[in-house]
Structure 1
């Protein structure tokens, strides 16, 4: 009996913070203001209600399991990327494995041309939102025209009565080449630094979590030199290897999905949260199980070919312990 009590007690003081790129979570309706034509029933991808509902179910299954084996509960905070609108997030939190978790949503429409945004899911019994806003990332293309990329989502709230600031990101892609587009991700990193400086100018000991799909690795210039400075710690640096990452391109692993936090999460204080560990959530059920791409993320589409998987990214997560 004592062992069971200890197990329950150990689990109750652990909380999971996760980030997951959901790979084009579009509904099946045409939005006349965005380029969502690829994800409609009459498109070449034939994105229909059955496929949409299957993806929602699968993503809900994946999210509910992140960190569960160690904490005994679904993740407390989940940053997400590549969602079309708030409606798809409503469908997600009402899916079979999430509907009883009492998740709330923070979401804003961003100016991204394809209409994909970032968002934050939070369990209401553990986290109370006190402030949220979207912050524009202003970058131009080579020809001087504005590149309409995703906004940064800034959410402030109380995690078990401790104030925490969360920045959710989805930085500009590498589509036109990693080096040619690196300046855009550096601009996004610098915008995060502006927000961090604003937060710490008001409270030098503020607890801050930066998460997202950075489209760059932990050792890339944007992350290593322009975002992570003396006040931040990136637990993802040690996770990227030749054999492991969050997304795979031409048989090479990248770890674009990262969670970074302020150093004060290393400090032990009663009634406050401290960092336990971080990892990639790459369980076998999220992987392609055979063939040439065995071990890669089991994604929804490869080009126009429908596979019916989860996402082309694995989620990442970290665990926090509430010090009693």
Structure 2
């Protein structure tokens, strides 16, 4: 018998599509139009250039590893949440582990009160953008006033000559209680459905990927009843257990970060991409390694306390297989 080590060959036809909530990726400059005062050098959090650059480096390291185990490359498409502006994403793609990947950046300012938006990074060699727009989400609070929240980013492009639509989301938070705020996330799901309708009216066979931090789990009403329908599939549903998720609150795992796609990704046809696998990227380097919070996401801040980690969320990803 040969004693040669066995190396598993990477599948070059696999492409990683990922989503990552970057936990307050703010620059260190004051934007008078947003509530970014917590993330300034003279704030209580003491958010300075050194901390900002350390976070960018760490996020770049994490991103370059998402899906690498099987595909041998960094994500072709990565949706992100909690970014302050386009400049922070441009700084991110210039970091050591991402600079040679030739990522393009898509970002539109949204009216969120905290000034955090969603965005999209894509490898220009593999994905060609043909359309991008910011779709406002109109939700009202209890007083009948508009609750300014994140827009939905709608990007259309060609992944190796196959047209794909991507909707990047960051739904309204549960801050005032999950049940009290559920109607806002249902409104977000319905807004996605409106965009889907718009897309499929023009092209009934359109391939669509919905991703984001939904602030709800796969089994919650907003996702399960108002978003999925008979025409979409949520591979994240089976990943959520008592022991695993993308964020941990009061010792409970949630899987708010999800990637959902139209059923036609289950078809195997030449020249197209089909769904191969879904997972949470929760490698040990992204976790707190000891103490009472062991195994939870190694975050940048816990309360006001600087921890110097990556994010309070783990990224999620799917592999798409390209059929030549």
Tell me if 1:85 matches 2:77.
no
CA offset digits 1:131-179 (Å, max 9, x no partner)? 0000000001101111000000000000000000000000000000000
- Matching residue of 1:191: 191
- Matching residue of 2:120: 120
| Aligned mates of 1:122, 1:15 — CA distance in 2 | 12
Deviation at 1:94, TM superposition (A): 0.3
- Matching residue of 2:4: none
Deviation at 1:97, TM superposition (A): 0.2
CA offset digits 1:235-275 (Å, max 9, x no partner)? 00000000000000000000000000000000000010000
| Aligned mates of 1:136, 1:24 — CA distance in 2 | 21
Tell me if 1:322 matches 2:315.
no
Secondary structure, counterpart of 1:118 in structure 2: strand
* 1:20-39 matches, cutoff 5 A: 20-39=20-39
Which consecutive aligned stretches of 4+ in structure 1 deviate over 2 angstroms post-superposition?
none
| Aligned mates of 1:302, 1:89 — CA distance in 2 | 23
CA root-mean-square deviation: 1.1
* 1:162-241 matches, cutoff 5 A: 162-241=162-241
Secondary structure, counterpart of 1:194 in structure 2: helix
Deviation at 1:78, TM superposition (A): 0.2
- Matching residue of 1:3: none
Deviation at 1:11, TM superposition (A): 2.0
- Matching residue of 2:109: 109
In the alignment, structure 1 segments of 5+ residues that lack a partner are 1-5
Secondary structure, counterpart of 2:95 in structure 1: coil
| Aligned mates of 1:122, 1:132 — CA distance in 2 | 13
* 1:66-85 matches, cutoff 5 A: 66-85=66-85
Deviation at 1:7, TM superposition (A): 6.3
Tell me if 1:145 matches 2:148.
no
CA offset digits 1:90-121 (Å, max 9, x no partner)? 00000000000000011000000110000000
- Matching residue of 2:99: 99
Deviation at 1:12, TM superposition (A): 1.5
- Matching residue of 2:260: 260
Deviation at 1:311, TM superposition (A): 0.2
| Aligned mates of 2:221, 2:11 — CA distance in 1 | 37
| Aligned mates of 1:245, 1:175 — CA distance in 2 | 19
| Aligned mates of 2:13, 2:249 — CA distance in 1 | 38
Deviation at 1:19, TM superposition (A): 0.1
